[in-house]
Amino acid sequence: MCSPAPDPLLFDTPCRWGIQVPGVEPTPGATVRGRWHPGRLSDIQRMPYSPPSTGRLGDPDMPPDTPPCPAPAGGWRDGEDWSDEPVRDYVRAHAEQFAEPFATHVGNARVLVVEVVSGDVDQARAALRAMYTGNLCVVGVPGGHSIAAEDRLQATTGEAIGALMDGTGQSGIYLAGSENGRMRVMMVQLTEPLYDKLAAIGLDHLILDPWIRPVTP
């Protein structure tokens, strides 16, 4: 049985991140319960399928379907305006004040969304509007995750997790990424040695997301 680890270069080959589950036919998804042994399960019971959170990195941070701003008078202008480098350069230069911009769509209109996590929203909107004529939504998100905070997270926690993912597969971690100001760490199983290493990095900065989990009473 394969974990939901992404492996786009392999097709119809044994999965790297998986375990032996005798008697379970190949299927796009399955939930089983059993007794754990290193690398395999015994006493297997097939359970109603419950999609895991693992393998869904970034879903909570996906852009909303609609921008968090009302449409301007006359509505959003149709078209794809990709010339937003001045905006991105500006927010990067004020990294403590802004979150990373993202684009969403309303019909055929692309709308660039900029979240202001600190400071005066009206002043920020005026400064950005002066340099960008496309569809722009500037909204206040007090206390949000700033670009600077994300850079610090990647330079500390991200680097430490990356060191555990050394390419050998020994840690069992197959994917990690930023989510709401912390790092989601996806792994085959949370073993005691791995837990100790993650605790040394700082559990407050991590979302631990194992594929194989103990059964709760």
Q: Which residues contact 5 (CB under 8 A, 6 or more apart)?
A: 15, 16, 17, 55, 174, 175, 186
CB 43 within 8 A of CB 35: yes
DSSP 118-132: SS-HHHHHHHHHTT-
- Give, in order, the Cα–Cα distances in Å from 24 to each of 1, 14, 31, 32, 138: 8, 15, 10, 9, 51
DSSP string, 52-81: -STT-TTGGGSPPSS-SSPPPTT-PPPB--
Q: What is the pLDDT of residue 135?
A: 94
Average pLDDT over the chain, rounded to whole? 84
The answer to whether the Cα torsion of 19, 23, 28, 32 is positive or negative is: negative
Instruction: List, in order, residues 6 or more apart from 141 with CB less than 8 Å away.
Output: 99, 115, 116, 117
Ranges of each domain in the chain: 1-51, 60-140, 147-212
Residues 6-63 have pLDDT tens digits of 655 545 555 666 666 766 666 666 778 888 777 677 787 887 777 666 555 444 455 5
Q: What DSSP designation does 204 have?
A: G
For the chain, where are the alpha helices, taking DSSP H only? 85-93, 121-129, 147-153, 159-164, 192-201
Q: What is the pLDDT of residue 120?
A: 97
Name the percent of the chain in helix, strand, coil, to the closest 5: 25, 30, 50
Q: CA–CA separation, 98 vs 41, rounded Å?
A: 48
Beginning with the edge strand found earlier in the chain, give each strand of the sheet holding 182-189 in spatial order: 173-179, 182-189, 206-212
**Average pLDDT rounded to a whole number, residues 138-148:** 96
| Rounded-to-integer distance, Cα 215 and Cα 212, Å | 9
Mean pLDDT of 95-124: 95
Q: Check residue 56 and give its pLDDT.
A: 52
Which pLDDT belongs to residue 58? 47
Q: Percent of the chain scored above 90 by pLDDT?
A: 53
